[in-house]
Chains A and B, each alone.
Chain A
Amino acid sequence: GQQLNQSPQSMFIQEGEDVSMNCTSSSIFNTWLWYKQDPGEGPVLLIALYKAGELTSNGRLTAQFGITRKDSFLNISASIPSDVGIYFCAGQLGETSGSRLTFGEGTQLTVNP
């Protein structure tokens, strides 16, 4: 089946630094999603990407849908302490509700004030 490799597994940064994480897949996706999960809570959608090559921003977050449709990255600029959490990428091939999301294993982000 499809697999997503997300890296890095963890990051320890100072407040104010920029962060970059990425996901690569062994096969193509038509949609890439980025979620953030705080401890003990469910993932919250950050950015959705629907088109190869698309670059989308949401405040300090920027994500890109790779042109090969097999990868995506998420950048966080000027990190703040509330950016702490686990970031997941997810890919989906189809548009129907039966088309499954495949999740990466997450990037644990720690921001030191």
Chain B
Amino acid sequence: DGGITQSPKYLFRKEGQNVTLSCEQNLNHDAMYWYRQDPGQGLRLIYYSQIVNDFQKGDIAEGYSVSREKKESFPLTVTSAQKNPTAFYLCASRETGLGYQPQHFGDGTRLSIL
């Protein structure tokens, strides 16, 4: 099946620990995005990547890092510098180049502090 796969579904972080969330897509999309969702709030953009080996900060990039070494993969690392990491993290991708194409989302990773 074509789609966006996020793993793991649930993740727990200890104080001072870095954790990495996986996002893989087999849709051949160039652009990929990471969002953070807190209860009762909309989605906030953390990082996005328009092409392999390139990425830009979103609105809340502090305490996070990303890489884009392969077109299909856009992992997000939540570093120990992120003091309030408990949230639902969503990855999205979209096709580019043929007019506007909407973003499509994975099923998310819920990160909690131990």
Contacts and interface: CB of A to CB of B under 8 A. Distances in A.
A35 B90 CA distance: 14
B63 interface: no
B106 interface: yes
A90 B33 CA distance: 15
Given A103-B42, A105-B41, A95 B103 contact: no
Interface residues of A, number: 28
A105 B58 contact: no
B100 A97 contact: no
B22 to A, nearest CB: 14
A66 interface: no
A32 to B, nearest CB: 10
Interface of B: 4, 6, 30-31, 40-45, 48, 50, 56, 58-59, 90, 92, 94, 96, 99-100, 102-108, 110
